[in-house]
Amino acid sequence: MPPTGSDVPRLLADLTECVAAASPDRRGALWRLAEPGRQLDANLVRLPADGAVEEHAEPDLDVLLLVVEGSGTLYSEGRPQPLTPGALAWLPHGSRRALHASSRGLAWLTVHRRRPGMTIRSAPPADPAPADRPTGGGDPACWLDRVCPACGRLAEGAAPAFCSRCGERLEAV
């Protein structure tokens, strides 16, 4: 059977045009791959002039980062690496990295394996606490203030200011 619809090669976006159409002070995802049945995720992300994505690690996925416009610096393992249009960086899973935009801002495309969708499972049976173990504490009941409004990723760290996936500013609740 011949391919139809979403399973045929085609042009998805003009990334240069996506960046040009966005306000210079816009931060976060400008475009996302949203094709049904895809095996990859891709995002066009922008940092405004002198913006930053603080140091973080992606524990599960290798990421390719292609600079589309502007310039900046990739910091990894304490080493600064200049980023200019056309630069392609490999960010292996587990590596720590940070991005800083120059006064021209920075726009890049990330490509990585698609994450599986979130699923809701039954909770494991409760383990009654022995009398000598305290029962209070644990994780907060609601972490909604740590969910990125742009891409849905749960932020890491005690008081994250920015999403480690797309760079969107996280608002404190």
Written as tens digits, the pLDDT of the chain (173 aa) is 565 566 789 899 999 999 999 998 899 999 999 988 889 999 999 999 999 999 999 888 999 999 999 999 999 988 999 999 999 999 999 999 999 999 999 999 999 998 766 556 666 666 565 555 555 555 555 556 667 776 667 776 666 666 766 676 676 64
Whole-angstrom distance, CA of residue 42 vs CA of residue 166: 10
pLDDT of residue 88: 97
- In our burial notation (b when 16+ CB lie closer than 10 A, e otherwise), range 56-86 reads bebeebebebbbbbbbbbbbbeeeeeebeee
Query: Residue 2: its pLDDT value, please?
Result: 60
Count the Cβ atoms, other than its own, within 10 Å of residue 13: 14
The label of the residue with tokens 């996302």 reads 32
Where do the DSSP E strands lie in 12-162? 28-32, 40-47, 52-57, 63-76, 79-83, 88-91, 96-113
Is residue 148 packed enough to be buried (19+ CB in 10 Å), middle (13-18) or exposed (0-12)? buried
At 143 the pLDDT is: 59
Contact 31, 15 (CB under 8 A): yes
- Determine the pLDDT at residue 127: 59
CB-based contacts of 13: which residues, under 8 Å, 6+ apart?
31, 44
Q: What is the pLDDT of residue 78?
A: 83
Single-letter code of the amino acid located at 42: A
